[in-house]
Amino acid sequence: MSVQSQAFTGNCSDCPVRHRAVCAHCEIDELDELESIKYYRTFEAGQTIIWSGDKMAFVGSVIAGIASLTQTMEDGRTQMVGLLLPSDFVGRPGRDGSAYDVTATTDVVMCCFRKKPFEQLMARTPHIAHRLLQMTLDELDAAREWMLVLGRKTAREKIASLLSIIARRDASLSPNGPSGAMVFDLPLTREAMADYLGLTLETVSRQMSALKRDGVILLEGKRHVTVPDMGRLMEEAGDDSDGGLMA
Amino acid sequence: MSVQSQAFTGNCSDCPVRHRAVCAHCEIDELDELESIKYYRTFEAGQTIIWSGDKMAFVGSVIAGIASLTQTMEDGRTQMVGLLLPSDFVGRPGRDGSAYDVTATTDVVMCCFRKKPFEQLMARTPHIAHRLLQMTLDELDAAREWMLVLGRKTAREKIASLLSIIARRDASLSPNGPSGAMVFDLPLTREAMADYLGLTLETVSRQMSALKRDGVILLEGKRHVTVPDMGRLMEEAGDDSDGGLMA
DNA sequence: CGATCAGTTGAATATGGTCAACGGCTGTGG
DNA sequence: CCACAGCCGTTGACCATATTCAACTGATCG
């Protein structure tokens, strides 16, 4: 499976997430410093990027692909606690170990910075520290929004919530169908969806079928989704209409 | 209900959270600047501190008491997404509105800073920005740990998880019983516990009774809890032994 | 004293989980 | 080329867990 970065040469100025990642606000000279401590790594779908508890040698940005953060209990139950998309930051400056497993859901390209030099650079570079604070606050908001989904929504609402998040995120990128319908491919298996939603994969499958039966979504194959009416989907999600941000 | 700060005069050097709050790493001169934009406010139990969607005029630290962050759906379902304890920070620099309701669970004393001057000060003061980043990363970890609780734990495990968090947090402050038993008062009603755990208050009540019946906890009245064996409680929570991170 | 509030408990029910069978695809090897 | 295994997903039958609705207790307050 190819990732979009095949044409990417490793130059920050060509970087697809240049304006959104942790380096977004950097000046030229700061970018030069980052360049000197950065390197690229690719991970295949399914591969673990960082193990929970391991000490991390690097931090970095996801450039292409999707990674997930998961927590695991001793008896094997798992909960996905975050989805990392291109431009998202991986790692925790100021702490050695990761609290969760980071796994490549699709093939992933990362821009890594050696951790020590990055921390030192951050101490000298308010632009980076400030951007990281912003991003962390956004992630905190997202995590808390997800807590509402996990704690209070029904299985059907959970599925609808996940679909509407993915749909809105892909809104800019993917081709829109007729009459403002949204079309996208699910980047997750049913099992990954279940891990994200705190459900079993059987329940995910059933509710997907139910939403399809009720005309809320159309399915072509297992992964290709068309949402004829976003408003309807958002109602199903319990997020009446607005949903917060729909630039 | 009296709060412990009655003797607190409003001087940073006497502040009970001086070394843990957002101002923890400040030098004397930075502290002086903070003093000039700070003021105290008290909120009675049950009072709303900030409404979701409102624009905030201030940010600040909880000095005494407990506040909670809650999300609400149109149909009234609510989920608590954070508990704010003394030293925790309220508000989001760089954004006007709050994404959640902030409510005083007990009587609360806050040290407030006018938002604009605080943001300006933060831009000039790496110590504050850095401390805020640390605290935000900690909150993010806590939120993600809670996602596992909400998504994958049984009602009994959820209750045990909440009790062990409260117990560990009060560990330093409260008097320990004999043989390392932990003793504390629940700062939450059954309903607030339910909101935090994604359960109904009836289920909370039943599981509390069950844990009491099984000798995992002792109850005196409704709120006074003794945990004779923390290890046992942690097992019940599914968090084998360690429990992760809570300095 | 009644009223209100926090909490407990019971009985019936619904929602999602568990276990199991099965369908469709893809890749491999005879 | 077909047979087969492995993976992802769907569906059904049954069951467990937590919710719902309701009655009830004990404390506090005016």
Say if B150 is an interface residue toward chain A (CB within 8 Å). Answer: yes
Question: Which positions of strand C lie within 7 Å of protein CB atoms?
Answer: 6-11, 15-20
Q: Which amino acid appears at position B117 of this protein?
A: P
B124: number of Cβ within 10 Å: 11
Q: Is the C-alpha dihedral spanning B46, B52, B53, B55 positive or negative? A: positive
Domains and CATH numbers, chain B: 4-149 (2.60.120.10), 154-237 (1.10.10.10)
Among chain A residues, the shortest Cα distance to B199 is held by: A151
DSSP string across chain B: ---GGGG--S-GGG-TTTTTSTTTT--HHHHHHHHHHEEEEEE-TT-EEE-TTPBPSEEEEEEES-EEEEEE-TTS-EEEEEEE-TT-EES-TT-SB-SSEEEESS-EEEEEEEHHHHHHHHHH-HHHHHHHHHHHHHHHHHHHHHHHHHHH--HHHHHHHHHHHHHHHHTTTSPP-GGG-EEEE--S-HHHHHHHHTS-HHHHHHHHHHHHHTTS-EEETTTEEEES-HHHHHHHHT--TT-S---
Residue B174, pLDDT score: 57
Using only the alpha carbons of chain A, give its radius of gyration.
19
How many angstroms separate the CA atoms of B88 and B104, rounded?
A: 13
Picking from B71, B79, B148, the nearest residue to A79 by CB comes out as B148
Angle, nearest 10°, between helix axes A201-213 and A190-197? 100
- Examine the pLDDT at A246 and tell me if it is beyond 50: no
Tokens of B227: 């945990």
Q: Name the residue of chain A whose CA is nearest to B153's CA.
A: A77
State residue B28's pLDDT score. Answer: 92
Cα-based torsion angle of the residue sequence B31, B32, B34, B35 in order, rounded to the nearest 10 degrees: 120
Helices A126-152 and A155-170: crossing angle in degrees, nearest 10, is 150
Tens-level pLDDT at each residue, chain B (247 residues): 444 445 577 789 899 999 999 999 999 999 999 999 999 999 999 999 999 999 999 999 999 999 999 999 999 999 999 999 999 999 999 888 899 999 999 999 999 999 999 999 999 988 999 999 999 999 999 999 999 999 999 999 999 999 999 998 877 665 655 557 899 999 999 999 999 999 999 999 999 999 999 999 999 999 999 999 999 999 999 987 554 444 4
Asked if pLDDT for residue A5 goes beyond 70, the answer is: no
d(CA B208, CA B198): 15
* Amino acid at position A56, single letter: M
> Rounded to an integer, what distance in angstroms lies between the CA atom of residue A222 and that of residue A213?
14
More confident residue, A120 or B247: A120
Give, in Å, how far the C1' of D9 lies from the CA of B237: 33
* A83-110 pLDDT per residue, tens: 999 999 999 998 888 999 999 999 999 9
What average pLDDT score do residues A24-38 get? 92
Q: Could you give the CA distance from residue B60 to residue A198 in angstroms, rounded to a whole number?
A: 34
Nucleotide lying nearest to A77, CA to C1' measure: C17
Give the model's pLDDT for residue A166.
92
User: What is the model's pLDDT at position B11?
Assistant: 85
Facing residue for B147 by CB, picked from A79, A123, A137: A79
- pLDDT-based confidence at A146, cuts 50/70/90? very high
Band the pLDDT of A13: cuts 50, 70, 90.
confident
By C-alpha to C1' distance, D21 is nearest to B202
DSSP string, B155-182: HHHHHHHHHHHHHHHHTTTSPP-GGG-E
Nucleic strand C near CB of residue B222 (< 7 Å): yes
Average pLDDT over every residue of A200-221: 97
Whether the per-residue pLDDT at A55 is higher than 80: the answer is yes
Lowest mean pLDDT among A59-68, A141-150, B180-189: B180-189
Task: Compute φ and ψ for A200, nearest 5 degrees.
Answer: -95, 160
User: What's the CA gap between A216 and A234, in Å, rounded?
Assistant: 10
A244 pLDDT tier (thresholds 50, 70, 90): very low
What is the per-residue pLDDT for A245?
Answer: 42
> How far apart are the C-alpha atoms of B156 and B16, rounded to whole Å?
35
**Could you check: is the Cβ of residue A16 within 7 Å of any atom of nucleic acid strand C?**
no
The answer to whether A93 touches A117, Cβ cutoff 8 Å, is no
Distance, CA of B138 to CA of B212 (rounded, Å): 32
Q: Is A214 on the interface with B (CB under 8 A)?
A: no
Residues of chain A numbered 44-103 and touching chain B (CB < 8 Å): 69, 71, 73-75, 77-79, 81-82, 92-95, 99-100
pLDDT: which is higher, A2 or B78: B78
Q: How would DSSP label each residue in chain A?
A: ---GGGG--S-GGG-TTTTTSTTTT--HHHHHHHHHHEEEEEE-TT-EEE-TTPBPSEEEEEEES-EEEEEE-TTS-EEEEEEE-TT-EES-TT-SB-SSEEEESS-EEEEEEEHHHHHHHHHH-HHHHHHHHHHHHHHHHHHHHHHHHHHH--HHHHHHHHHHHHHHHHTTTSPP-GGG-EEEE--S-HHHHHHHHTS-HHHHHHHHHHHHHTTS-EEETTTEEEES-HHHHHHHHT--TT-S---
Contacts of B140 in chain A (CB under 8 A): 136, 139-140, 143
Q: How far is A203 from chain B (nearest CA, A)?
A: 14
Q: Looking at the complex, does the CB of residue B124 fall below 8 Å from at least one CB of chain A?
A: no
Q: Do A147 and B150 touch (CB under 8 A)?
A: yes
Q: Please give the backbone phi and psi of residue A174, each rounded to the nearest 5 degrees, phi first.
A: -85, 155
